[in-house]
């Protein structure tokens, strides 16, 4: 070794010891003939003190930031102790040193608050990774990986590797494909997930499987998507939904305890998909704060049931509400004091194209007991009070109301709720609220193709009580505009998502394990028998040889780490991420390849 | 859960308990009105006893092998105890049962000695994986994975994921490539190893990295190669070769202890590449047995030095020896009793095209002290005795001698040695002998291109004392037939392999960490400055910002598992392997893809 100790290791107990350290120069300070060097490695920073006798050597070496040096010396007590670093009580009086490698001046400062822009830091990722923030992120990522593995191991799960060069069966997202040289004209696909393999492993009797595994999706990238991403992928046999929920609730709690030191004692809250949509306007509610949605048009969810309890807004002659398909309200705590300027700004906020609403109605529940609204002309104070009361607004709160087509309005108020929660400081990074969302719809309507697609994936089982609805009805949608009236729209799945602070961190289902039901599922998705056989014949075949009941879940490892690290961006938790065009700007990949390579593969670029 | 206990869990302590089991029917035996069913899961087998009251239900269910059932009953003591299984002291008297899934008759029996051929078992891999042998293999694989991870974690290594969609820089093996849809006409490559990334992580200061990671090589497959394979990939900073050898010797010992219960106390034997080639004829000697090679033509290695100690065979007028470039001998213990038929068969064995020798000379060292050989005409008994003595042959041994061109003869006698070791039962599956082979040549001569290629990879550092030879001489080979006289032929690398029972299980090196030396290395390999910059500019760039000295190793995880499992074939230790044409016959992959997919990728098949 080039060192006897790391740069984070020395304490007062080492005083008097001769040591050798190696690392990077963080800072150099000269005080007359004495030079102080802070030397850094993964483990910490140690202060080196170099006396006048080495001055000439120092000058000759022309040391600078990020130079790699090896230094030998004696540990001694520091007069000016530094409480902020673990080695702050000592320093090393250097007797000799050597430059192991030089460094150019880095293109940005390697500090917590770096001056490097995004592009520069991506190009010099190996320097950005030296920054403390990214190092902490990768350390957290490793800790989560380790905690998950340890938990799953204790629960009898086995890590079994599944193949990366598989068959292309695009259903949903696009596959990345790999041309085969030995089978010219044919292609492998990279897995979007090991779904069918883990199911085969259940058929093979492995009972409990896990893998921390790369998956690939060739999608147009949004800000927070990567073409390659990592899943904690799990599957169990002989289980019902309740078993899976308990098992993986345990895993997440174990991760919180190991990684964050947070001991979550209570059970993870549960909510049906219907409840989530009604109360929060989306299927991954951030339950760190309330502000539940209320449909004040005609009906709302009360005590878990959709009820039509009379009209809160009817007969007021306010056409915007009367003509709207839906009218949704939230009560923002303590925001009655909003000024005209502030409510105008909020109105502009909901009118932005991303939100797409035509306007915003508000009711101020003043602390003096009066009610003021932007629609005073149409609503008496009593009516305003009734609405505010129904929303659960207290004195000092601000009720915000959006009206319009159901889907868009629901989405808009869900965004507005999150925004108001953010503004009110109710979405704290270090407040972690877990949630199970249950009973997802089995199908989703694909407008372009006017057909049903699997909401989760085609291997998800319908609720037993809904199987007959699926089998007994044709999937064909006669009237596209009334697709919600099709019997398939109401079929629920044995599917569940785990949500953390408004982010889906995991999702899974109890799977279909009978060949005939699986065939019916494929057929419901508009797949012909031949197509189903061609794509998934191996799975249908496997189901004929004693497939056990099974189910599983996959966690989005990148996102889980990001949220645990208090960040919105998964990119900061991946060592070598791609940019939004799917490029690795450090490597300059993808890139053109040799004509010879193309020839061997039997392909041509167009 | 569909069960209260697993099929491997119940003991006499459970007697009287009502339990529910779920699993596969291994066997059904009827004795009059009583039915015995052995039910199997991952954890074991339990005997179920079904009385006549359930006869009708049994008949109605038409149960068969591999059906999945759930059975409820009371644990009771077994009259006929079975010592071979962990649950052999009890049985379960069944009160009710349910068929969870039926099974067709499997295409082969799911037993240790299956009747299924290779192709059938590959096609129905999910059934083959039910066999105990494969289950044990995958369990061993998981245990090795876990032991390696635990050791590395304790030593401060961090698992850091490196990308799979990288840049194609073919150097050695062919890359698998992935067309990019978002960057039409450009391609990613799948990594042949995370080599440059782990080096960048060292530059970033991560100090100790590991990953159990899939790698990809588009090579023509031999029997025991897979296009995708797994490495235990490691890298360390501020280390010298000795540190790496100690660290990973520790890892392998820890794996042996954890997985096989074998506590290897002694240090792993070490041997230079030169010694390995001289003594064993190859760079991965099986040292479970002796039979070292002796060059009896003119010189041999004695006390670690190549000496020319006079001629053992000169002046005998035996043209085969006199005209041969090299004459190599081994002494096979106890084989002097070989019959004429047996020596003839051995002669045929070395004449096969795979070995390619023209003949075999033998000397029998008879137990009566006499010497008999196939070349008695040319060699007196005294000369035979001298040769035999030089080979270390004792009375009762058989000396085998091959003569011919150096490289071929060396390879042939190395194979012959292994064959004789095999026949003598000296290569025991459960005898594990580890070995470090050190000081590999830096370069290898590529005949087709008449140039030097990197024996390990272009990032391996030369021995410090050989750097000047590399820098001071042109890589150009003027005289192809005398390439061994080129100064580059003698340059040794800081490279090492770990060998287990004659298989390379790991290999690594101390890396180049200086930009100028790395550039010289690329140039020695015939790469222009532009090409080096285009392919590896990111690494050369990184070396300008304070790269620390570093080195590492990668273990072939599949092979390591196979050897630990006492098998020659890695395929049996991979859940879903490809066949020799790189096909997954279960999935039927690779396969043709949609024209639409090709269009989106901007490629055409030719």
ipTM score assigned to the predicted complex: 0.95
Share of chain B above pLDDT 90, in %: 84
Task: Report the SS3 class of residue A581.
Answer: coil
Q: B238 and B129: one domain?
A: yes
Return left, alpha or beta for B479; rule: phi > 0 is left, psi -120 to 50 is alpha, else beta: beta
Pair (B532, B474) in one structural domain? yes
- Are residue B59 and residue B187 in the same domain, yes or no? no
Which residues in B lie closer than 8 A to residue A581 (C-beta atoms)? 182-183
Q: What is chain A's length?
A: 606
Digit-coded pLDDT (tens) for B364-392: 999 999 999 999 999 999 889 988 988 99
Q: Which of A395, A309, A410 is nearest to A357 (CA)?
A: A410
Report if residue A130 sits inside a domain: yes
Q: For B548-598, what is each residue's pLDDT tens digit?
A: 999 999 999 999 999 999 998 999 999 999 998 999 999 999 999 989 999
Cβ <8 Å between B163 and A576: yes
Answer whether the bond into residue A176 is a cis peptide, omega within 30°.
no
Residue with tokens 């849809």: B181
Please give the residue of chain B at the shortest CA–CA distance from A139.
Answer: B158
| Spatial distance between the Cα atoms of B240 and B465, rounded to a whole number of angstroms | 15
Contact A170 B594 (CB under 8 A): yes
Q: Is the pLDDT of residue B306 over 70?
A: no
DSSP A192: S
Task: List the single residue in A with minimal CA-CA distance to B543.
Answer: A103
Q: Is residue B399 part of a domain?
A: yes
Report the chain A residue with the minimal C-alpha distance to residue B210: A142
B22, B78, B91 from B1: Cα distances, Å:
9, 26, 21
State residue A308's pLDDT score.
54
Same domain as B210, residue B97: no
CB–CB of B164 and A216 under 8 A? yes
Among A127, A204, A228, the residue with its CB nearest the CB of B163 is A228
* CATH code of A41's domain: 2.40.50.140
Chain A residues close to B155, C-beta within 8 Å: none
Question: A504 to chain B, minimum CA–CA distance in Å?
Answer: 22
Closest CB to A604 among B162, B538, B606: B606
The pairing of strands A208-216 and A158-159 is parallel
Give me the mean pLDDT over the B103-107 stretch: 94
Taking residues A579-603, what's their average pLDDT?
Answer: 93
Total number of domains in chain A: 4
B341 Cβ contact partners less than 8 Å away, ≥ 6 residues apart? none
For residue A8, the 8-state DSSP code is T
Within-domain flag for A185: yes
Reduce the secondary structure of A577-588 to three states and give it as a string. CCCCCCCECCCC
One-character DSSP codes across A397-431: -EEEEEEESHHHHHHHHHHHHHHHHHHTT-S-TT-
Range of weakest confidence among A474-488, A549-563, B61-75, B294-308? B294-308
Do B2 and A240 lie within an 8 Å CB cutoff? yes
- B263: helix, strand or coil: coil
* Arithmetic mean of pLDDT over chain B: 93
Q: What is the pLDDT of residue B311?
A: 67
For residue A301, the model assigns a pLDDT of 47
In chain A, which residues have their Cβ closer than 8 Å to the Cβ of B8?
none
Is residue B5 a part of any domain in this protein? no
Residues A206, A152 share a domain: yes
Q: Which two tokens stand for residue A145?
A: 């990986």
Residue A172 pLDDT class (50, 70, 90 cuts): confident
CA distance B37 to chain A (A): 16
Rounded distance between C-alpha atoms, residue A100 and residue A151, angstroms: 42
Distance from the Cα of B416 to chain A's closest Cα (Å) equals: 33
Q: Specify whether B504 is located in the same domain as B469.
A: no
Cβ pair B198, B459 in contact under 8 A: no
Question: B357 and B392, same structural domain?
Answer: yes
Residue A189 β-bridge partners = A166, A177
Nearest CA-CA distance, residue B522 and chain A, Å: 18
Nearest-10 Cα torsion for B313, B314, B317, B322? 90
Q: Which of B103, B186, B538 minimises the CB distance to A586?
A: B538
Residues B170 and B250 in one domain: yes
Query: What's the gap in Å between the CA of A122 and the closest CA on chain B?
Result: 12
CATH classification at residue B387: 3.30.1360.30
> Does residue B165 belong to any structural domain of this protein?
yes
Q: What is the mean pLDDT of chain A?
A: 93
Give a three-class secondary structure readout of B170-235: CECECCCEEECCCCCCCEEECCCCCHHHHHHHHHCCCCEEEEEEEEECCCCCCCCCCCEEEEEEEE
Compute φ and ψ for B146, nearest 5 degrees.
-65, -45
Asked if residue B604 belongs to a domain, the reply is: no
- CATH number where B172 lies: 3.30.930.10
CA distance A181 to A183: 5
Domain boundary among A382, A400, A427: A427
CA dihedral B426, B428, B431, B432 (to 10 degrees): 90
* Nearest-angstrom CA–CA distance, A20 and A73: 7
B584: nearest CA partner in chain A:
A166
Interface contact flag, A106 B66, Cβ < 8 Å:
no
Q: Are residues A153 and A216 in the same domain?
A: yes
Chains A, B: CB contacts under 8 A, how many? 360
Instruction: Categorize the per-residue pLDDT at A313 as very low, low, confident or very high, splitting at 50, 70 and 90.
Output: confident
What confidence tier does B298 reach under pLDDT thresholds 50, 70, 90?
low
Backbone angles phi, psi at B171, to 5 degrees: -155, 100
Are A593 and B243 inside 8 Å of each other by CB?
Answer: no
Dist. CA B419–CA B414, nearest whole Å: 9
C-alpha span between B183 and B181 (Å, rounded): 5
Burial B369-393 (b: 16+ CB within 10 A, else e): eebebbbeebbeeebbbbbbebbbb
pLDDT in tens, A176-228: 999 999 999 999 999 999 999 999 999 999 999 999 999 999 998 776 889 99
Lowest mean pLDDT among A25-39, B314-328, B352-366: B314-328
**Which residues in chain A are contacts of B125 at CB distance < 8 A?**
200
What three-state secondary structure class fits A66? coil
pLDDT digits (tens, 9 = 90+) for B20-43: 999 999 999 999 899 999 999 999
One domain, residues B141 and B260? yes
The chain A residue lying nearest B1, using CA atoms, is A239
User: Are residues A394 and A329 part of one domain?
Assistant: yes
Q: What is the pLDDT of residue A170?
A: 72
Q: How far apart are the first and last CA of chain B?
A: 53
DSSP state of B462: B
The per-residue pLDDT for B606 is 86
The reply to whether B286 falls in a domain is: no
**H or E element in which residue B447 lies:** none
Is A282 within a domain? no
Residue B274: which pLDDT band, with cuts at 50, 70 and 90? very high
Question: To the nearest whole angstrom, how far is the Cα of A521 from the nearest Cα of chain B?
Answer: 18
User: What whole-number distance in Å separates Cα of residue B371 and Cα of residue B378?
Assistant: 13
Report the pLDDT averaged over residues A477-486. Answer: 89
- Residue A483 shares a structural domain with residue A404: no
The 10s digit of each residue's pLDDT in A83-115 is 999 999 999 999 999 999 999 999 998 888 877
Residues forming a β-bridge with A49: A36, A93
- pTM exceeding the 0.90 threshold for the entire prediction: yes
pLDDT at residue A322, rounded to an integer: 85
Map residue A5 onto helix, strand or coil: coil
Helix pair angle (B557-564, B132-154), 10° resolution: 120
Give the closest-approach CA distance of B422 to chain A in angstroms.
Answer: 33
Of B230, B582, B604, the CB nearest to A161: B230
Helix (H) or strand (E) holding B482: none
Subunit contact A177:B182, Cβ cutoff 8 A: no
- Say if residues A70 and A22 touch (Cβ distance below 8 Å): yes
* Contact: A129, B104; criterion CB under 8 Å: no
Q: How far apart are the first and last CA of chain A?
A: 53
Distance from CA of B526 to the nearest CA of A (A): 17
Domain residues for the domain of A411 are 291-427
Q: What tens digit of pLDDT does each residue of B454-504 get?
A: 999 999 999 999 999 999 999 999 988 888 889 999 999 999 999 999 999
pLDDT at B604: 92
Whether B605 and A605 lie within 8 Å, measured CB to CB:
no
**Strand A90-101 with A44-50, pairing:** parallel
Average of per-residue pLDDT across B403-432 = 94
Encode A99-122: b = buried (16+ Cβ within 10 Å), e = exposed.
bbbbbeebebebeeebebeeeebb
pLDDT at B301: 46
């Amino acid at each position: 070794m080039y060192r006897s100790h790391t740069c984070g290791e020395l304490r007062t107990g080492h005083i008097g010891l001769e040591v050798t350290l190696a690392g990077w120069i963080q800072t150099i300070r000269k005080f007359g003939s004495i030079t102080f060097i802070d030397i850094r490695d993964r483990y910490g920073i140690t202060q080196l003190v170099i006396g006048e006798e080495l001055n000439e050597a120092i000058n000759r070496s022309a040391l600078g930031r990020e130079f790699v040096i090896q230094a030998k010396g004696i540990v001694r007590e520091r007069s000016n102790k530094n409480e902020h670093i673990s080695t702050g009580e000592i320093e090393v009086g250097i007797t000799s040193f050597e430059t192991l490698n030089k460094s150019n001046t880095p293109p940005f400062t390697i500090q917590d608050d770096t001056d490097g822009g995004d592009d520069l830091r991506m190009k010099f990722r190996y320097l950005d990774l030296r920054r403390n923030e990214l190092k902490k992120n990768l350390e957290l990522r490793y800790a989560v990986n380790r905690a998950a593995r340890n938990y799953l191991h204790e629960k009898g799960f086995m890590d079994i590797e599944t193949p990366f060069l598989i068959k292309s069966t695009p259903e949903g997202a696009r596959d990345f494909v790999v041309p085969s040289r030995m089978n010219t004209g044919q292609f492998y696909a990279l897995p979007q997930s090991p779904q069918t393999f883990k199911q085969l492993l259940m058929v093979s009797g492995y009972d409990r499987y896990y893998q921390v595994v790369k998956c690939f999706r060739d999608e147009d990238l949004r800000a927070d998507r990567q073409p390659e991403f990592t899943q904690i992928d799990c599957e169990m046999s002989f289980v019902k939904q309740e078993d899976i929920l308990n098992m993986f609730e345990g895993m997440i709690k174990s991760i919180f305890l190991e990684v964050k030191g947070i001991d979550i004692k209570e059970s993870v809250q549960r909510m049906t998909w219907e409840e989530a949509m009604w109360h929060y306007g989306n299927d991954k509610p951030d339950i760190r704060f309330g502000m539940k949605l209320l449909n004040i048009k005609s009906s709302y969810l009360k005590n878990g049931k959709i009820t039509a309890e009379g009209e809160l807004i009817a007969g007021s002659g306010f056409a915007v509400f009367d003509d709207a398909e839906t009218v949704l309200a939230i009560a923002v705590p303590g925001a009655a004091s909003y000024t005209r300027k502030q409510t105008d700004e909020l109105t502009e906020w909901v009118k932005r194209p991303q939100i797409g609403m035509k306007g915003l109605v508000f009711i101020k529940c003043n602390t003096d007991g009066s009610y003021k609204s932007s629609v005073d002309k149409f609503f008496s104070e009593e009516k305003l009070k009734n609405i505010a009361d129904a929303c659960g607004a207290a004195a000092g709160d601000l009720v915000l109301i959006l009206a319009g087509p159901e889907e868009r309005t629901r989405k808009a108020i869900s965004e507005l709720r999150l925004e108001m929660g953010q503004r009110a400081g109710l979405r704290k990074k270090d407040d972690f609220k877990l949630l199970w969302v249950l009973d997802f719809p089995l199908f989703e309507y694909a407008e372009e193709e006017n057909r049903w697609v699997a909401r989760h994936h085609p291997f998800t089982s319908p609720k037993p009580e809904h199987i007959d609805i699926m089998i007994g009805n044709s999937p064909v949608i006669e009237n596209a505009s009334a697709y919600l009236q099709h019997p398939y729209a109401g079929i629920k799945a044995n599917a569940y998502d785990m949500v953390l602070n408004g982010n889906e961190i995991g999702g899974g289902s109890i799977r279909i394990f009978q060949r005939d039901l699986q065939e019916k599922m494929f057929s419901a998705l508009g797949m012909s028998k031949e197509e189903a056989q061609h794509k998934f014949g191996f799975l249908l075949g496997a189901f004929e040889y004693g497939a056990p009941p099974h189910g599983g879940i996959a966690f989005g490892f990148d996102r889980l780490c990001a949220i645990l690290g208090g960040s919105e961006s998964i990119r900061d938790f991946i060592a070598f991420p791609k940019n939004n065009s799917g490029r690795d700007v450090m490597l300059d990949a993808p890139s053109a390849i040799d004509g010879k390579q193309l020839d061997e593969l039997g392909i041509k670029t167009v």
